[in-house]
Structure 1
Amino acid sequence: MNEVLKSNNILTELYWEPANLTELEPATQALFRGMIKGNRKLQYRDGDGKAATGYSSKISTLYEPFAIYVKELYGDGIYFAHEDDNSTYLLIVSNGRIVGGTDCFVDRMLFSELINHGNTYANLEVTPLTELQIDAVIERCKARQVFLKRRRRFFISSIFIGGIILLMVLALALHFWVAG
């Protein structure tokens, strides 16, 4: 799964801010404040309509966050995909907010312990991510990238055409000024 997502410029393992930073230790709060400077900031709206933030070390807009698309397409839940015998992708979305510390690959035994003994998110449905769901996320990301590419082309073309028109007007003005 991870290789397929990487080949399609889709990011996992982002850092997601909790709903309330004041609940964190001061060192962790400082870590999140420091991430603002060196990482790409990704924002979305949670279930209450409040802004939620994640950070990616990839600053290019060519990369899309997998967790946000899963949240938008499938809503709240505990999502997982077994990568191999030792690794499992884990994502928890609760009240429309991506839970910090998830959107990561964990040891399969740790995943089993979290699912069997985790009472904090017992109300959420545990859902394995199928190939069909992953393909739906990939298609949505590709559609967004096409939209962004068209918008960039339109913007660059507008500037180019505007520059040509400005040069033509200046050339015409210069011609009339020299011709007197």
Structure 2
Amino acid sequence: IMDDKTCMVDIAHYFIEFLESESCGKCVPCREGVRRMREILEDICAGRGEEEDIALLESMSYAIIDGSLCALGGSAPNPVLSTIKYFRDEYEAHIREKRCPAGVCKELIRYAITADACTGCGACLKACPAEAISGKKKKPHEIDEAKCIKCGACMESCKFDAITVE
């Protein structure tokens, strides 16, 4: 089920990665085009996307469709074309704002503790494998972004919903 917690750029990347592994590699447009699309989508998901990447993905998609010799190559770009058509704003958020609206792409999210909601119970501090959380008992805790590995253990351990994804 897809909802507002599903990143459509990540979904496109997932499908392209799968299709790359299924490609026979006989025709250049499919073999190289799908590989390059995967690289671009990885960059977008990692916050390294550039403004021209959306147009590049679209033009590459049509070149792959036109130049492929089989049905797989002819339909491989469809997940990218569909997500760009219906969820362009998500691509733009990843590229322009360096933000994943769904909070899925690890390089584009950050965990934050809402001071008003944090009771200082220490559950998140104990759960964090990177020791990125500090704070005194019964005082609001803080997350050190430089140490945070974005695993989500802190958020899962917080019974007060004091930890959010931004």
Same fold (TM over 0.5): no
Structure with greater strand share of residues: 1
TM range (shorter): under 0.3
> TM-score w.r.t. structure 1 length?
0.23
Query: Larger C-alpha radius of gyration, 1 or 2?
Result: 1
